[in-house]
């Protein structure tokens, strides 16, 4: 037998023994009927569920899984079979980790790792993964000889936007070297035991179920999905034992190459298991193995610039200066000009720089662009990116938009020399990079002078915001002559298509009709293609021949018909990264809406995660539909079923958030005042009966509408 298969089997057999022992002990101690579950998932023990279709709910379900696990370990001298044994190790790790959550315990509460990753987080990663904002997923495991080495690798991944999961002592090593961690910073510590690596494996596996419409029990489709669509890889640091090797075999079976830093000589399998002794080369080698190309942005600024810093929070104690609309004038404006009015790459500061000794400053960020193909509608599309770009600066935090913003600059960034003109450079370079197709020239004026900032706000920005709001308000599905597809999510959900209209944004909430229109202009053959509105066959349900044609084509034949405005009949498909999901609530003859952030129960008896698992992967599920937050107050929401008057329940946070617009819509459509007061939430009812009593008291319109079913 080869040395490699030997090692894999040794590890798998060891894990199988441990797993069997742990399951037997747990049953002996707690009883076979004791429930066991990972938190906040609709996919049970995801690896077992995906591979076999078995729904583990109690300890008594586990012995059969252990038998399956053992059957995967054939001890035959064949590398393919040995990789299956690696999958057995994954199943064993899942069971061992799952047992830690017995009795609703949170075993990671006092750990430096986070353990199991809940479904909503995976859904939230959909968009950054498809846009390439997160270009890949790294798993860093073990303990390096030198802490600096592992920290340097992790920071390098972070600066490239790679989502990095840490397992083992490298967590402390990275922390001690100053690596900032957290999901929002794209460095996620999982746990210390090697079994905690399963928590990243199940992310990939659930991605296949959530986005890929992979059917449970179809192991071949599962492995094809993870290999082709999840751009993950593994780096191990320090000595390898057989358990690590067999876990690595599991990774390879899923299609994730492994780079080790120990010389394993002829155990190497080119393309799958490779040795790289020089830690300075680890990142390059790993990215090459997964064919991940990173566009390097060389900006003339003294701090790092990467999407990974987007979620960085700067506390008051760490802050050097602040621009905040509550204290001073602030505004951001992108405006289009004639060719002669814009001097390319001119960056001007009007007022003091941020080293004048003050802590608080006003700011007007005034950007003038010219482009032969520039359109007025694209101003706001560019302007909204300011938020992301400023956040990409390490040591800068930006919130809000337009004239309601807050920017903080950290002491650290300031000490590195970050000043106003660098913000101008960032804006210039990013606009010229991302909007090259429509912007030919760009000049940036940054104003910290209070009078001039106030003038720009009053004379330039406010009128522009008002004009835009008027345009948006007048923009209806009827007032435009085409809609757009968005197929960005197809890299994860191969047959999913969003149809984006003025009144219905993409279900991720990130793509409005204007965005899609700009995308088409920026990338002619890209993910957004126009759909003609000609020959509408049903304006109420929203049936258009060209929608059907485009959806049929873009879904590669998976879909025949899609209605734009019905939940019950040919509803739009969902990829998985939707902000909200709506579902019918039969007892009240209405629909409930749940947002991804809501963790509690709903009157349908299902959580967000459970509702979400009813649809996704590009399939149509009448009665359940993913959508964006903004769609809730649209006149077109469930228009075929009577419109937003069908909404009977939402989590309170969501209801409060949409209330101003939804109340206005309900007033316009039905003449109802304060409609949101008639809608239930978790403080009113978490079950259908209580909800019905409440709705009856309030005289909710859904009760007297046509039966939904």
Residues near ligand SF4 (CB under 6 A) are: 127, 130, 486-489, 498, 500, 506-508, 510-511, 575, 577
Sheet holding 163-167, edge to edge: 187-191, 163-167, 137-142, 232-237, 258-260, 273-275
Cα radius of gyration (the chain) = 27
Per CB under 5 A, 126 contacts Zn ion: yes
Q: CB of residue 500 vs ligand SF4: minimum separation in angstroms?
A: 6
Alpha-carbon distances, residue 666 vs 373, 568, 628, 636, 670 (angstroms)? 39, 21, 18, 12, 5
Residue in the shown chain whose Cβ atom is closest to ligand SF4? 506
CA–CA separation, 565 vs 562, rounded Å?
9
CB-based burial, 355-376: b 16+ in 10 Å, e otherwise:
eeeeeebbbbbbbbbbbeebee
Closer of 158 and 620 to Zn ion (Cβ): 620
Closer of 397 and 493 to ligand SF4 (Cβ): 493
The residues with which 583 forms a beta bridge, in sequence order, are 592, 624
Q: CB of residue 463 vs ligand SF4: minimum separation in angstroms?
A: 31
Closer of 273 and 493 to Zn ion (Cβ): 493
CB-based burial, 377-386: b 16+ in 10 Å, e otherwise:
bbbbbbbbbb
Contact 256, 139 (CB under 8 A): yes
- What backbone torsions phi and psi does residue 300 show, to the nearest 5 degrees? -80, 65
Per CB under 5 A, 616 contacts Zn ion: no
Place of tokens 């939230």: 124
Question: Can you say how many angstroms the Cα of residue 497 is from the centroid of all Cα atoms in its chain?
Answer: 17
CA–CA separation, 384 vs 35, rounded Å?
47
Residue closest to 556 by CA, chosen among 496, 501, 628, 505: 496
Closer of 314 and 489 to ligand SF4 (Cβ): 489
Per CB under 5 A, 162 contacts Zn ion: no
Among ligand SF4, Zn ion, none, the one that 488 touches (CB under a kind-dependent 5 to 8 A) is: ligand SF4
Count of Cβ atoms closer than 10 Å to residue 85 Cβ: 27
Residue closest to 666 by CA, chosen among 678, 656, 657: 678
Q: CB of residue 449 vs ligand SF4: minimum separation in angstroms?
A: 40
Q: CB of residue 489 vs ligand SF4: minimum separation in angstroms?
A: 3
Closer of 48 and 508 to ligand SF4 (Cβ): 508
Closer of 494 and 643 to Zn ion (Cβ): 494
Segment near Zn ion (CB under 5 A); pick from 165-173, 287-295, 514-522, 571-579: 571-579
Count of Cβ atoms closer than 10 Å to residue 316 Cβ: 7
Among Zn ion, ligand SF4, none, the one that 120 touches (CB under a kind-dependent 5 to 8 A) is: none
Q: CB of residue 626 vs Zn ion: minimum separation in angstroms?
A: 8
CA–CA separation, 56 vs 46, rounded Å?
9
Q: CB of residue 506 vs ligand SF4: minimum separation in angstroms?
A: 2
Closer of 93 and 508 to ligand SF4 (Cβ): 508
Among Zn ion, ligand SF4, none, the one that 69 touches (CB under a kind-dependent 5 to 8 A) is: none
Closer of 26 and 486 to Zn ion (Cβ): 486
Among ligand SF4, Zn ion, none, the one that 625 touches (CB under a kind-dependent 5 to 8 A) is: none
Among ligand SF4, Zn ion, none, the one that 558 touches (CB under a kind-dependent 5 to 8 A) is: none
Among Zn ion, ligand SF4, none, the one that 498 touches (CB under a kind-dependent 5 to 8 A) is: ligand SF4
CA–CA separation, 638 vs 651, rounded Å?
19
Closer of 571 and 603 to ligand SF4 (Cβ): 571
- By rule CB under 5 A, what string of x and - marks binding of each residue 483-502 to Zn ion? ------x-------------
Q: Which residues bind Zn ion (CB under 5 A)?
A: 126, 489, 575, 577
């Amino acid at each position: 037998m080869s040395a490699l298969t030997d090692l894999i089997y040794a590890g798998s057999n060891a894990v199988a023994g441990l797993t069997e022992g742990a399951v037997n002990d747990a049953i002996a101690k707690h009883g076979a009927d004791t429930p066991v579950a990972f938190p906040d998932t609709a996919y049970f023990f995801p690896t077992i569920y995906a591979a076999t279709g078995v729904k583990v709910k109690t300890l008594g379900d586990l012995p059969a899984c252990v038998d399956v696990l053992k059957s995967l370990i054939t001890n035959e001298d064949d590398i393919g079979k040995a990789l299956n044994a690696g999958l057995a190790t994954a199943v064993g790790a899942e069971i061992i980790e799952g047992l830690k959550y017995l009795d609703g315990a949170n075993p990671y509460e006092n750990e430096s790792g986070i353990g199991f990753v809940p479904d909503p987080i995976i859904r939230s990663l959909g968009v950054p993964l498809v846009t390439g904002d997160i270009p890949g997923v790294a798993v860093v495991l073990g303990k390096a000889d030198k802490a600096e080495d592992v920290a340097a690798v992790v920071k390098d991944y972070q600066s490239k936007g790679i989502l990095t999961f840490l397992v083992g002592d490298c967590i402390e090593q990275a922390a001690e070297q100053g690596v900032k961690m957290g999901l929002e910073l794209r460095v996620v510590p999982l746990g210390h035991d090697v079994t905690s690596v399963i928590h990243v494996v199940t992310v990939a596996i659930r991605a296949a179920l959530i986005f890929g419409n992979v059917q449970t029990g179809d192991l071949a489709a599962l492995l094809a999905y993870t290999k082709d669509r999840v751009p993950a890889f593994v780096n191990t640091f320090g000595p390898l034992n057989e358990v690590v090797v067999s876990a690595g075999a599991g990774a390879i079976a899923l299609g994730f190459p492994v780079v080790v830093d120990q010389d394993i000589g002829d155990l190497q399998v080119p393309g799958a298991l490779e040795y790289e002794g020089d830690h300075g080369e680890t990142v390059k080698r790993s990215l090459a193995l997964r064919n991940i190309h990173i566009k390097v942005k060389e900006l003339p600024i003294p701090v790092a610039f990467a999407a990974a810093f987007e979620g960085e929070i700067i506390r008051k104690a760490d802050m050097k200066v602040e621009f905040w609309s509550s204290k001073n004038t602030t505004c951001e404006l992108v405006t289009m000009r004639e060719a002669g009015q814009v001097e390319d790459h001119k960056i001007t500061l009007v007022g003091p720089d941020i080293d004048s000794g003050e802590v608080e400053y006003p700011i007007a960020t005034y950007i003038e662009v010219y482009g032969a193909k520039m359109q007025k509608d694209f101003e706001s599309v560019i302007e909204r990116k300011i938020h992301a770009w400023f956040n990409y600066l390490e040591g800068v935090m930006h919130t809000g938009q337009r004239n309601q913003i807050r920017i903080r600059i950290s002491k650290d960034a300031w000490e590195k020399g970050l000043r106003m003109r660098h913000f101008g450079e960032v804006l210039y370079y990013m606009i010229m990079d991302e909007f090259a197709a429509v912007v030919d020239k760009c000049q940036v004026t940054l104003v910290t002078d209070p009078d001039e900032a106030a003038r720009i706000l009053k004379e330039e920005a406010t009128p522009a915001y008002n004009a835009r709001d008027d345009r948006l308000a007048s923009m209806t599905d009827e007032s435009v002559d085409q809609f757009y597809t968005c197929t960005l999510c197809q890299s994860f959900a191969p047959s999913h298509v969003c149809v984006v209209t003025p009144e219905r944004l993409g279900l991720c909430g990130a793509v409005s009709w204007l965005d899609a229109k700009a995308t088409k202009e920026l990338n002619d053959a890209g993910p957004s293609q126009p759909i003609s509105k000609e020959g509408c066959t049903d304006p109420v349900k929203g049936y258009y021949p060209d929608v059907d044609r485009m959806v049929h084509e873009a879904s590669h034949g998976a879909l025949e018909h899609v209605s734009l405005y019905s939940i019950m009949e040919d509803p739009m498909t969902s990829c998985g990264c939707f902000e909200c999901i709506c579902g019918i609530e039969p007892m009240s003859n209405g629909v409930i809406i749940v947002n991804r952030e809501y963790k509690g129960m709903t009157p349908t008896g299902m959580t967000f995660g459970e509702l979400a698992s009813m649809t996704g992967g590009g399939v149509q599920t009448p009665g359940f539909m993913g959508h964006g937050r903004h769609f809730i107050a649209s006149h077109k929401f469930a228009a075929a079923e009577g419109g937003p008057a069908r909404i009977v329940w939402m989590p309170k946070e969501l209801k409060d958030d949409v209330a101003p617009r939804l109340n206005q819509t309900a007033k316009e459509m039905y003449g109802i005042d304060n409609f949101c007061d008639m809608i239930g939430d978790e403080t009113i009812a978490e079950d259908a009966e209580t909800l019905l009593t409440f709705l009856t008291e309030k005289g909710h319109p859904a009760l007297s509408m046509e039966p939904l079913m």
